[in-house]
Amino acid sequence: MLEVVYEDNHILVVIKPQNIPTQSDITGDTCMVDMVEKYLREKYDKKGNVYVGLVHRLDRPTGGLMIFAKTSKAAARLSESIATKDFEKSYLAVVNGEVKEASGTLKNYLKKNARTNTVAVVPELTTGAKYAELNYKVLDKKDKVTLVKVNLVTGRSHQIRVQFKHIGNPVYGDVRYGGDTLAKGHNLALWAYKIKFQHPTTKKVMTFVSVPPTDAVPWKVFDVDKYATI
């Protein structure tokens, strides 16, 4: 069942559940594009093709806010705003250990291994390396874990997960990047909680916020509702 946060004639803002792929992959599992297409087809009783404009992605284990375009014009304008950094994406994450600095900027070069679907921090001049940058702020600390707010400057694959692993604070529950030492059997503690963008046709600045599941480990040890309004 698709959870719709906002809809008009041009855009659709939804909540992506964790462990659902953004778009189809080799697993053949139902993806967000499929779910949005099904929703639009059924709601508007469409018999022919349904346009679903995918303008940004979330990693499969990451949950939270996503925006889809309902027209090609809206898709082009949203894609342009993302390219020009006019589209703000903020995340909440719980990471293992204590983050040394209360706030900071992480700048690295990342390279993806398509065969293993993993990303690594590499030297700047490495062939295929892409620049990655994010800003973070520590919001709260508990025994062995830290709650952080993250704003992406770039949007690289697995970026938050890899950059925090690189400073010794892998995301809680991250099996791929060593964050599951405290979290066997729990979901990745990474949530796209806030998006801010200019509407593609009205030009109105729109902001949407979604809190992660507050009854789930490790979110429930923090006052997530308090921080999700920031």
Report the relative pairing of strands 103-113 and 63-69 from DSSP bridges: unpaired
Say how many C-beta atoms besides its own lie within 10 A of residue 194's C-beta.
22
φ, ψ of residue 224 in degrees (nearest 5): -65, -40
DSSP 3-state assignment of 96? Answer: strand
Task: Report which of 186, 210, 213 is spatially closest to residue 196, judged by C-alpha positions.
Answer: 210
Task: Report which of 163, 134, 135, 142 is spatially closest to residue 98, judged by C-alpha positions.
Answer: 142
- Given 25, 45, 59, 225, which residue is catalytic? 59
Q: 140 an active-site residue?
A: no
Query: Mind telling me the catalytic residues?
Result: 59
